[in-house]
Structure 1
Amino acid sequence: MSKILGHTEYYETAMKDDHLVRAHKKLLAQVVKVSDTGCCLVKPTGASGAPARFMVEGDHDLSRRWAWRIYCGPIPAGHRIYTTCGESECVAPAHLMAYRHEPPPRAPRRVVRPRAKLTWSIVQEMRALNEPSVSELAYLHDVHPSTIRAILSGKTWVNW
């Protein structure tokens, strides 16, 4: 199983530390699925599907943080460990990245809803009108007037 996760230069050093050896055994025991994309997925802990965690000698942390410590070394101060593959439960060293404070920039999620009454182009047209009547726009697009007010005030459809 350790060959599936892959080895890094730091791995040989880590395997000389008893604490990290025990963490490595627990980490490998948690891997439940290895995907075609190289992801090594661990089983989430808790009923809520919270990220996988485990404890070694009183040191309690996320599985991906343990994987970073084992395969890449100490976590730099002020950094968080994120997965670059999009799988929150992945512990493959090639899919882990340390970022300072903020997650890596991601493309905005655009949900396509084919039966939606409003689209981004309709919202732009509404906002471009000089003196739009909320009630007329609501009637025209078959939506509640509060929806139109939220769009015109910028509370909804903000980053499209």
Structure 2
Amino acid sequence: MSKVTPCLWFNGDAEEAANFYVSLLPDSRIVHVQRNVSDGPSGKEGSVLVVEFTLGGQRLVALNGGMKMEYTHAISLMIDCDDQSQVDSVWTAFLAHGGKEEQCGWLRDRWGVAWQVVPKAMFEFLSSPDKAAAARVVQAMMKMVKLDVDVLRQAFEGKSAA
């Protein structure tokens, strides 16, 4: 059966990026590193061409494409975190390695890849049949940079944040 694998474009530092990404989550590892077999646009013979890796069980590929390409918000990678502790840990790791915070649980890593760091509770709140509670969660999220499970839960329950 065919599978879809996201491929991230880098300019010479695909292996460094993949190693950083797999350090973030359990069930993550480098699967294979393919080296250039000759000199070419993507690097010298023997340099890294492609890194296959899994991130939280999801297969991805990092490609050294030979030139700098900019990422846009048109695509992002979402990490659904078990709890606030994991949100905090992943968020801090990205920022400590050159990432930049954005709004509503989004950030960019040092390579410009857009990530959404989202607690699993957020999905529960938003899928609630209580539309008013879900709307309050969205309003609370819109005021945040890093998502805060306690504040989102208070919004869901109709309590104001202290």
TM range (shorter): under 0.3
> Please, what TM-score do these two structures have when normalized by structure 1?
0.27
> TM-score if structure 2 supplies the norm length?
0.26
Larger radius of gyration: 1
More helix per residue: 1 or 2? 1
